Amino acid sequence: MSDSYDVVVIGAGPAGYPAAIRAGQNKLKVACVDEWKNFDGSYAFGGTCLNAGCIPSKALLESSELYQRAKDEFSVHGIKLGGVELDLAAMQRRRASIVKTMTGGITALFKANGVLGIQGHGRLLPGNKVLVTGADGAEKPLQAKHVILASGSVPVRLRTVPHDGKHIVDSWNALEFDAVPARLGVIGAGVIGLELGSVWRRLGSEVTILEALEQLLPIVDQSIAKEAQRHFKQQGLNIKLGATVSSAAVNGAAVDVVYTDAQGEHGLQVDKLVVAVGRRPFTEGLLAGGTGVELDQRGFIQVDEQCRTNAPNVWAIGDAVRGPMLAHKGKEEGLMVADLIAGHFAEMNYKVIPSVIYTAPEIAWVGQTEEQVKTSGRPYKAGSFPFSASGRARAMEAAQGLAKIVSAKDDDEVLGIHIIGPMAGELIAEAVLAMEYSASTEDIQRTIHAHPTLSEAIHEAALAVDKKSIDGINR
Ligand code: FAD
Ligand code: AMP
């Protein structure tokens, strides 16, 4: 006998668990199956984001930044400290306890919203059945009117750089080091590589990041990326662009890395090597034959704009489907699908998804870069404001970076907002809201921003678009 549900969600990451909760709020009978296990073998809801991604990385970024600021910056504020010492074990305990609290919170949220959380492996069978295999190997079929696939993604591994989890590691291992590596190598200067490189650099590692592309952060507005590059260099992050890693091998307690750049082949020895070359959709063991669910050429579950797969009443969301691999993108897709299943109106605005890189300074953006607008051929105007002219940023001893707005010349619509600077990840929310409501530059110019706040940088950047900045220089 199989239990029957209105909705069965496979995966309880930031895409799947909100979908399950919203389905519960919509008074649907819902179960959510998740197989995530931590290194100690314990099950935990929350997927990559809570266990091995967004949350633990931000915990360590915060701790490492405080350590670095206490060491190097507090004296500027007139605060004298004795010797500042790193207690990495305590820092890692804090990280682990935040993760535990957050993942435990999902169990409570499931209960509060009438979701049955099941820990085990879920496999979609034809006819909207989900076969659940529990920890003890026992199998239980669930019958569902609707199935939501939210199986997420896993790190890409390089065949010639064999992962051993100790010396050659992925981003998850690199969040759980129990000692600061003297020499850390990172393959890939993407978001994850830069965040992890920053953590360990601040804690004392000599960090070398090898990036195959000639350009740093090609997805970011290039004036912002150039500013970032300058800061990373000052921080001692050694980023080698145009450097393609061809192989690596463990050599005793170290790793020998071989990479090629315009000058030829080079060797680099490090103590730990993090492979951060991107993530791929994870669908292993997810689909039995004959379900009708199709994958695209890159292995993503194929879906339409509303996350419907090719199979009736089977939906897919999050990192397992096309679009940026971001927790908030998956969450919004999950809410949309759970509302559509309940017969409500729901849609997703893929044009207005913010991105944040939690380096120091932070980088955040929404909409099109100046380069993209230029390529589109639409006449545009742009303005920027440096945080060096922000009183609040000065008071914070964080007067670095800039805010920039790119707008259409014809109707003044805001096309993209780009920030590198203190709390950029928080500041971007205003930009997202403005763009979600199709704001014009004038709308932002006429919006009163509290003084002194970092958000004034967005106000001033909007003024600068029309060469009306008060506190900045209009170019
Ligand atoms: P996942 O979080 O991967 O969850 C999928 C879940 O499904 C997992 O628990 C998995 O075990 C389970 N599962 C898979 N198959 C099955 C099955 N057959 N049966 C049962 N369970 C199954 N994004 C941001 O937006 N902001 C950040 O700051 C950020 N930082 C990151 C830092 C790092 C180091 C990493 C690695 C990622 C980061 N990301 C960040 C990306 C973010 O983690 C992902 O976009 C997000 O987790 C995707 O959510 P998801 O629910 O689609 O998949
Ligand atoms: P992201 O996809 O944003 O996580 O970034 C991953 C980065 O890794 C990309 O910028 C790739 O160019 C880079 N990359 C992939 N393979 C290699 C390699 N073999 N050597 C160096 N960099 C690589």
Distance CA(184)–CA(204), nearest Å, equals: 10
Residues within 6 Å of ligand 2 by CB = 158, 187-192, 210-213, 244-245, 276-278
Contact between 55 and 98 (Cβ < 8 Å): yes
Asked whether the predicted pLDDT for residue 2 surpasses 90, the reply is no
Contact between 366 and 416 (Cβ < 8 Å): yes
pLDDT one-digit tens code per residue, 6-55: 999 999 999 999 999 999 999 999 999 999 999 999 999 999 999 999 99
Distance CA(115)–CA(107), nearest Å, equals: 9
Nearest protein CA to atom 45 of ligand 1, as residue: 326
Listed in order, the ranges of the chain carrying CATH 3.30.390.30 are: 352-465
Give the CB-side neighbour count of residue 345, counting CA atoms within 13 A.
0
Residue 54 CA, ligand 1 centroid: distance in Å: 9
Looking at all shown ligands, the one closest to residue 44's CA atom is 1
Contact between 295 and 124 (Cβ < 8 Å): no
Collapsing DSSP states into helix, strand and coil, what is residue 311? coil
pLDDT one-digit tens code per residue, 65-118: 999 999 999 999 999 998 999 999 999 999 999 999 999 999 999 999 999 999
Distance CA(184)–CA(203), nearest Å, equals: 11
Record the pTM: 0.97
Name the residue among 192, 196, 220 with its Cα closest to residue 207. Answer: 196
CATH number for region 4-155+280-348: 3.50.50.60
Residue 156 CA, ligand 2 centroid: distance in Å: 10
Q: Which is the closest atom of ligand 2 to the Cα of 259?
A: 20
Asked whether the predicted pLDDT for residue 382 surpasses 90, the reply is yes
pLDDT above 70: percentage of residues in the chain: 100
Residue 290 CA, ligand 1 centroid: distance in Å: 26
Catalytic machinery residues: 451
Q: Which CATH architecture has domain 168-277?
A: 3-Layer(bba) Sandwich (3.50)
Residues within 6 Å of ligand 1 by CB = 10-16, 33-36, 47-49, 52-54, 57, 121-122, 150-153, 171, 192, 282, 285-286, 318-320, 325-328, 330
Q: What is the mean pLDDT of residues 392-414?
A: 98
120: left (phi over 0), alpha (psi -120 to 50) or beta: left
Q: Which is the closest atom of ligand 2 to the Cα of 243?
A: 21
Collapsing DSSP states into helix, strand and coil, what is residue 463? helix
Contact between 407 and 463 (Cβ < 8 Å): no
Q: Which is the closest atom of ligand 1 to the Cα of 36?
A: 11
Q: What pLDDT band is residue 226 in, cutting at 50, 70 and 90?
A: very high
pLDDT one-digit tens code per residue, 293-325: 999 999 999 999 999 999 999 999 999 999 999
Asked whether the predicted pLDDT for residue 401 surpasses 60, the reply is yes
Supply the pLDDT for residue 473.
Answer: 87
Non-local (6+) Cβ contacts of 102 within 8 A are 46, 50, 55
Supply the pLDDT for residue 1.
Answer: 55
pLDDT one-digit tens code per residue, 252-269: 999 999 999 999 999 999
Distance CA(21)–CA(38), nearest Å, equals: 23
Listed in order, the ranges of the chain carrying CATH 3.50.50.60 are: 4-155+280-348, 168-277
Structure tokens at 464: 């600068």
Name the residue among 338, 336, 318, 337 with its Cα closest to residue 328. Answer: 318
Nearest protein CA to atom 6 of ligand 2, as residue: 277
Mean residue pLDDT across the chain: 97
Per CATH, the homologous superfamily of domain 352-465 is: FAD/NAD-linked reductase, C-terminal dimerisation domain (3.30.390.30)
Residue 271 CA, ligand 2 centroid: distance in Å: 20
Q: Which is the closest atom of ligand 2 to the Cα of 191?
A: 3
Nearest protein CA to atom 5 of ligand 1, as residue: 152
